A and B are shown apart, each in its own frame.
Chain A
């Protein structure tokens, strides 16, 4: 006597399952398209570095921090995140140019985001975080540390100053490692 409702129930649940699969499939199609079309992915380079010797030798010694113009016109910005500041605390980059941030920490886990952008990364001591982006317009962005790194965490804010390409070349182009921290 109860076969008819039983079939109705099963059929409705199955139909709903297809709807669910469709909705999730649609989201994934957009995610995959975005990742491929933009060559976009979260920072994932898996590169280690000796956290205890950062200041002494290698890529992140103080003289090498800041914005470095590459032969192809792009820039690499090397930053250290430490308790409780970013070095350099004011990073300057040209607009409409490929920018690579390379960030590491000598002490604890930090993180950073650049406000009004999608630039967002953890900074794990022992690893270099590499994140690539491009700023379209001149603007000064705030860049907070967004992971708890003990008591001074709330004071850990940096600035990212995006300037016009010509102005960058004029004002900062001659410096091997540029920053606006001075």
Chain B
């Protein structure tokens, strides 16, 4: 994996000083991956949130509702 500076040199902020910033892969590789869209992330994050919602719905119908109305 070749390392490239182009994301860093032109930028002055301290957190982007070469000593303080780690970057991997060439800029071109990163851009190519980013341009394809975050399919994997959408899947994992989407599945996680779906599981979250499922747990909520399960609690609602299996535990909360049968225990009766309170007001």
Contacts and interface: CB of A to CB of B under 8 A. Distances in A.
Interface of A: 1-2, 4-5, 8-9, 12, 16, 19-20, 23, 26-27, 30, 38-42, 116-120, 131-136
B16 interface: no
A19 B42 CA distance: 10
A30 B60 CA distance: 9
Contacts of B49: 19-20, 23
A132 B37 contact: no
Contacts of B23: none
A38 B53 contact: no
Interface string B6-36: 0000000000000000000001001100111
Contacts, number: 62
Closest 7 pairs (CB-CB, A-B): A5-B34, A118-B70, A40-B71, A118-B67, A5-B35, A38-B69, A133-B70
A40 B69 CA distance: 7
Interface residues of B, number: 23
B37 A12 contact: yes
A86 to B, nearest CB: 18
Contacts of B70: 40, 42, 117-120, 131-133
Interface in B31-71: 31, 34-38, 41-42, 45-46, 49, 52-53, 56, 60, 64, 67-71
Interface of B: 27, 30-31, 34-38, 41-42, 45-46, 49, 52-53, 56, 60, 64, 67-71
A42 B64 CA distance: 13
B31 A133 contact: no
Contact of A27 (B31, B56, B64): B56
A136 B68 contact: yes
B71 A8 contact: no
B35 A134 contact: no
26 contacts: A1-B31, A2-B31, A5-B31, A5-B35, A9-B34, A12-B42, A16-B42, A16-B45, A19-B46, A20-B49, A23-B49, A27-B53, A27-B56, A38-B71, A39-B71, A40-B69, A40-B71, A118-B69, A119-B70, A120-B70, A131-B70, A132-B70, A133-B68, A133-B69, A134-B68, A135-B68
